[in-house]
Amino acid sequence: MYDIGIIGGGTAGMTAAIYGQRAGKRTIIIEGGTFGGQITSSPNVENYPGIASVSGSEFSMNLLDQAMKLGAETQMAQVTGIRDEGEVKVIVTPEKEYPCRSIVLATGVTHRHLGVPNEERLTGAGVSYCATCDGMFFRGKEVAVVGGGNTAIQDAEFLSDYCSKVYLIHRRDEFRGENSGVKRLKEKENVEFILSATVKELVGESMVEKLILNDKKTGKDFELHVSGVFVAVGQIPKNETFADTVKLDEGGFVLASEDCLTSHPGIFAAGDCRTKEVRQLTTAAADGAVAALAACKYIADQSL
């Protein structure tokens, strides 16, 4: 029997394990992919308080090592469901079931990719899915942002303060994001809109060198020379498995606010998988701490 079963081994999940173990609880982290989550693919992390610079993989491994040294257990398995048996919640995997007194969902998200040639190969070498994480590495350079929603608009605005030129590429002739953000971008001299165009291919040997774009109105291809590409075409939460257990919003994110409480007593949500405005390492770690302490309080209340 585990006190806290944590589904997902990213920053939020591992932080939850650290706080749970320090509170004297028995925790287990069940991860279906790679411990560390998305940040492991980032070559440099320079926005985490107290750490000037560290690679994403090193940051993740340090966090995992800390949790395990405190006694947290880990298991590589794909979670296929949660079964509620009253005071006990059972995490179900193909090989085994894990009875827990409480559960923290920390499943994270995956960034929607463009699905074009060389995108995967050049990820971390000019291709990024987080402007606030990696924008500083492109100071004084020309970059492109791909997308038409609020995230793309905010990314372009953020990057315009550091980059010599920001191209905002959108497949339609109008943006889906808020008009106020579009208006601010129009007033910036170093921001240029490329509308009704799609990315056809990324080109570069060891780093991004240029994009091959397709003009949807003329059907012709053209080149755009940039040093970086920031993809902002949406995020995909990995919560489908739990749709019958906790309430999700229309985008598939777990409905939970800053207290990390879900619609189901004893089940908490932490990190990028929940409804929130800011998705960063710091907010993931904060969620992990909040969710673990909320789980501890729930366990204490149940035993009264």
Q: Architecture of 1-108+234-300 per CATH?
A: 3-Layer(bba) Sandwich (3.50)
In single-letter form, the type of residue at position 119 comes to: E
- Which two tokens mark 267? 């089940």
Residues of the chain with CATH 3.50.50.60: 1-108+234-300, 112-229
Task: Looking at the structure, give the CATH architecture of the domain made up of residues 112-229.
Answer: 3-Layer(bba) Sandwich (3.50)
C-alpha distances out from residue 144 to 147, 157, 164, 201, 278, Å: 10, 12, 11, 13, 22
- pLDDT of res. 37: 87
What are the structure tokens assigned to 2, written together?
Answer: 């585990």
Active-site positions read 130, 133-134
CA-based R_g, the chain, Å = 21
User: How would you label 78-99 residue by residue, b for 16+ Cβ within 10 Å and e otherwise?
Assistant: ebeebeeeeeebebebeeeebe
Q: Calculate the alpha carbon distances from 215 to 115, 168, 239 in Å.
A: 18, 14, 36
pLDDT value of residue 91:
98
pLDDT in tens, 7-60: 999 999 999 999 999 999 999 999 998 899 888 877 778 889 999 999 889 999
Query: What is the mean pLDDT of the segment spanning 216-225?
Result: 96
Q: How far apart are CA 31 and CA 93, in angstroms?
A: 11
**pTM confidence score:** 0.77
